[in-house]
């Protein structure tokens, strides 16, 4: 029995290390991809407007700024978009106590804690590393889960912190948002390009045509590309976080019970969007058509494994 326990621990450690390495690589690729997209738009603007070295320099600076914002401020952007507010120590003493105890057991620094006023049962973690992490929970989760269930959910989110899932997931949000922003910029460049040569109609038509060819496809792809980019965030991260959380609390039934409550709760998180859906412990958007017009699309691009599969995996531990 002792040998089996040791083997299981080694397997979990190996999986965690593999997940961390994969997250680091994918995070670097996301940052590089974001910078490349910004430079590409700048290069297109150069071709259409003829600003030359000045235009390309501006694009390079914009790419650096975009990457810096994605690295340093992604968590703040996500928290603001989710309407999260800092969890007061007095008002949410149970939340702080549970997180402190779990962090001691997992060897993690205590993350910043936030609360979202929403009746839905959900939670997420963001940040670029364990020292700059934040965990947000809904008021519905705090009100409807028992202490054991809440501890299990918090252990799940702290597992994302420990595995560096938060870095990749948080960066994906800003990269997703950049796609829609670049699409709009391309269309704006189209208008500005024509203005530069407004007195030379024959020359002014060429920039507008070039930007029209580029801007319209970007605009058409904007609703699809963000969801495809979210596929970079592997659904396996949720199952791995479930198993790690069960090992930390040493009580799988606690997380099983919490997931069952999340499964049975049909409330949609009001502040959630497809760009941030992959962050939450369970998909916060409408999964089926009767729950929303975009339900079928949300289900198609869902980044979470079926909750029944997660529950079954925990029961087999």
Domain boundary residue, one of 213, 231, 249: 231
Contact 277, 287 (CB under 8 A): no
**Together in a domain, 196 and 309:** no
Sheet of 112-116, strand order = 84-86, 112-116, 133-138, 123-127
Domain boundaries, position 109: 80-167+232-315
> What is the per-residue pLDDT for 13?
52
Q: Are residues 16 and 158 in the same domain?
A: no
SS3 75: helix
Q: Which two tokens stand for residue 81?
A: 């978009």
Q: What is the pLDDT tens value at each position of the chain, 317 positions in all?
A: 545 455 555 555 555 555 556 655 665 665 566 556 656 656 655 555 555 556 556 655 665 666 666 667 888 989 998 999 999 999 999 999 999 999 999 999 999 999 999 999 999 999 989 999 999 999 999 999 999 999 999 999 999 999 888 888 887 777 665 665 555 555 555 555 544 444 444 444 444 454 554 555 555 555 555 555 555 666 678 888 999 999 999 999 999 999 999 999 988 898 887 778 888 999 887 654 444 444 444 554 566 888 999 999 999 98
Interatomic CA distance for residues 66 and 61, integer angstroms? 9
State the Cα–Cα distance between residues 231 and 238, nearest whole angstrom.
13
Residues 154 and 53 placed together within one structural domain of the fold: no
Which of the following is catalytic: 151, 157, 238, 282? 157
Long-range CB contact pairs, 235-239, < 8 A, 24+: 235/303, 235/304, 235/305, 236/19, 236/305, 237/19, 237/160, 237/163, 237/165, 237/169, 238/281, 238/304, 238/305, 238/310, 239/305, 239/309, 239/310, 239/313
Long-range pairs of 24-33 with CB within 8 A, sequence gap ≥ 24? 24/164, 24/167, 26/168, 26/232, 27/164, 27/167, 27/168, 27/171, 29/232, 30/70, 30/168, 30/171, 30/172, 30/175, 30/232, 31/67, 31/70, 31/71, 31/171, 33/175
Whether 132 and 242 map to the same domain: the answer is yes
**Residues 6 or more apart in contact with residue 49 via CB below 8 angstroms:** 55, 189, 192, 193, 196, 207
Question: Residue 276's pLDDT is what?
Answer: 82
Query: Are residues 186 and 252 located together in one domain of the fold?
Result: no
Give yes or no: residues 86 and 149 share one domain. yes
258 and 294 within one domain: yes
pLDDT the model gives residue 196: 46
Q: How far apart are CA 181 and CA 34, in angstroms?
A: 11
- The CATH number given to whatever domain includes residue 237 is 3.30.2010.10
Of the residues 190, 211, 231, the one at which a domain ends: 231
For residues 134 and 238, state if they share a domain.
Answer: yes
Same-domain status, 69 and 90 = no
Q: What is the pLDDT of residue 273?
A: 77
* 56 three-class SS: helix
Co-location of 310 and 184 in the same domain: no
Residue 14 has a pLDDT of 52
Given 206, 231, 256, the domain boundary residue is 231
Q: Is 157 known to be catalytic?
A: yes
In the chain the first and final C-alpha atoms are separated, in Å, by 14
Looking at the structure, tell me whether residues 6 and 136 fall in a common domain: no
Are residues 146 and 291 both part of a single domain? yes
Total tally of structural domains belonging to the chain? 2
């Amino acid at each position: 029995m002792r040998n089996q326990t040791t083997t299981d621990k080694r397997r979990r450690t190996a999986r965690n290390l593999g997940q961390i390495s994969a997250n680091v690589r994918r995070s670097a690729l996301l940052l590089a991809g974001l910078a490349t997209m910004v430079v590409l738009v700048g290069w297109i603007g150069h071709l259409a407007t003829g600003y030359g070295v000045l235009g390309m320099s501006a694009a390079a600076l914009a790419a650096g700024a975009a990457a810096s914002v994605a690295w340093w401020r992604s968590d703040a952007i996500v928290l603001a978009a989710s309407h999260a507010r800092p969890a007061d120590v007095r008002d949410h003493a149970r939340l702080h106590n549970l997180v402190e105890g779990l962090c001691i057991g997992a060897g993690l620094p205590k993350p910043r804690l936030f609360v979202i006023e929403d009746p839905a049962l959900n939670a997420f973690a963001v940040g670029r590393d364990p020292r700059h992490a934040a965990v947000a929970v809904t008021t519905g989760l705090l009100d409807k889960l028992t202490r054991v269930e809440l501890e299990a959910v918090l252990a799940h989110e702290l597992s994302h912190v420990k595995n560096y899932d938060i870095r990749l997931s948080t960066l994906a949000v800003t990269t997703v948002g950049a796609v829609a922003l670049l699409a709009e910029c391309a269309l704006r460049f189209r208008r500005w390009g024509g203005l530069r040569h407004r007195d030379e109609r024959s020359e002014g038509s060429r920039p507008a045509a070039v930007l029209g060819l580029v801007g319209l496809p970007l605009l058409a792809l904007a609703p699809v590309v963000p969801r495809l980019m979210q596929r970079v965030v592997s659904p396996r991260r949720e199952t791995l976080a479930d198993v790690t959380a069960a090992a930390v609390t040493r009580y799988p039934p606690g997380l099983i019970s919490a997931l069952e409550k999340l499964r049975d709760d049909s409330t949609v998180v009001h502040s959630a969007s497809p760009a941030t859906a992959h962050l939450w412990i369970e998909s916060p958007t409408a999964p089926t058509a009767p729950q929303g017009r975009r339900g079928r699309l949300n289900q198609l691009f869902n980044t979470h494994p079926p909750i029944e599969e997660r529950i079954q995996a925990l029961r087999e531990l």
